[in-house]
Structure 1
């Protein structure tokens, strides 16, 4: 099967490409920087020479048309995932408009299976509330006020409109993803790094779903060949963690004390909003982000998250240890910062189980 992939040099996209290639599919990638593809795919055991590259951007209709022409399936994983207020305009343009362009082009090209990578955040409520909320595949599109979440909710609305029109669109909702080989040091990987560097001693209460990028990539691979009529919305494998449990996992895998103070998330939101304003003029990244606090304040669980489409998620400690060890191997953490995780056995390239 020829699979056209957007976002293939990102965290989810690259691991999904590796999963597709392992399953024997041919892959075509829409990329802004063709030279980057080799650097991203090599650690995952994929030779970029075996992947067709189409230069372009998801907001550019001609290049998207070239990428989708003749494809039997499309994975739309391109997205700007960040709570950095300096990237607000980029998020709105890529996440919402890009989804409209890619899904529209895939339909015109007669693609049989279109996978749209959404986010659990697209279903979050308009205002944070008490913990214990649960979302499922029938939950309505959310109205989050934070920019990244709002852009994903807008993209979700686009994808659902195609579904309602009868298009073969399948939506996936990855949790907050960790794992090795994150080519862009995305939000979640950067947060682990910040914790272990002592930059985030203060945490909001609440929690969020966490999963392994390799498990979500496997979900995408299975959905490619799923029978027609399979339900159109799937949550990525993962587990809900409170912020205390999240920090405890990092303590476990590193053997470090990692002192932390936990405050009510709602009380921290105003400080997060001020940080967002400061970030627009401050040249260095500030890890105390409004969007991360907002996520914890929503404290939203996913119904039936323990197993998705026959995939049992990896233990969170295993995922966290692999993440920390990879950060150490790539020089993003010192041996002291990585602690016991730096002494774990080497990772298997690609991440297949």
Structure 2
């Protein structure tokens, strides 16, 4: 019995093969940021930014291929470390790629199927993904986390854009018939700037400026952190938005579908000379800021209508509210029949205090 136990103990290590192919961290290139543009010829231009676990400056890798897997295989042929996407934090998609719906769908599908890439990887849009990756690496060549930290520390506090991960973007595109909005980052001189968005659909992509992106955030009920400026008498007063909501109501009337969007907004008045405002002044200011929000949101909706694409996510709401009408016409027909009434309701919760 003892001999059988010894033989069994000696045999166990031969079945523990899980670590035979294990690579040490110094043998791997942990990619933190990936940029994808359209290639000059065919396929895509991939820019890989790894974390630097050695001394000296980090080096970006580039490859051109129809697929991400093919690009990784290319990079592995001329680097001494195995490319590892398990720590990927950010994927930047160039405008050229976003204009090519077929290539974009193929890339998103590959990212979704990859066992290495997290579904929570952050997506950004850019004029040139490669340029943004290079500038991000100059900012932080050690960890490669500059873009991740930059975005997290900026977008969560300032409502100039809305963070979106791979899983959320795929879900929104499915619900919105292939449309969605990505936050936009761009290189300005030696610096990177975050703000605005990129509306993406089967027809291509179009840039949203910061005001249009903010209008989009109000329609989502997710504009906390926005700062609005209202002109009151001879002064310009800023309002910091602390709470927003978006309520939708749909009514069919003949050939028109009226969408009434009510936008309750709470905010704190900033600046001024520190004097308390009267109830009458408070009402006047709330009216001024309500008009400002109405103008921005209506402009954003007009942009979507002119594109002929609902990248705002309004049609799914209409289809749920009016299921019989939605069955009787296509999404394009329903979108053409939409008319909008935007009703902001601003409440100033803090009007300033004397110090």
TM-score scaled by structure 2? 0.30
Look at both structures and tell me which one has the larger radius of gyration over its CA atoms. Answer: 2
Which is bigger in relative contact order (C-alpha 8 A, separation at least 6)? 1
Q: Between Structure 1 and Structure 2, which shows a larger proportion of helix residues? A: 1
Q: Which structure carries more strand by proportion?
A: 2
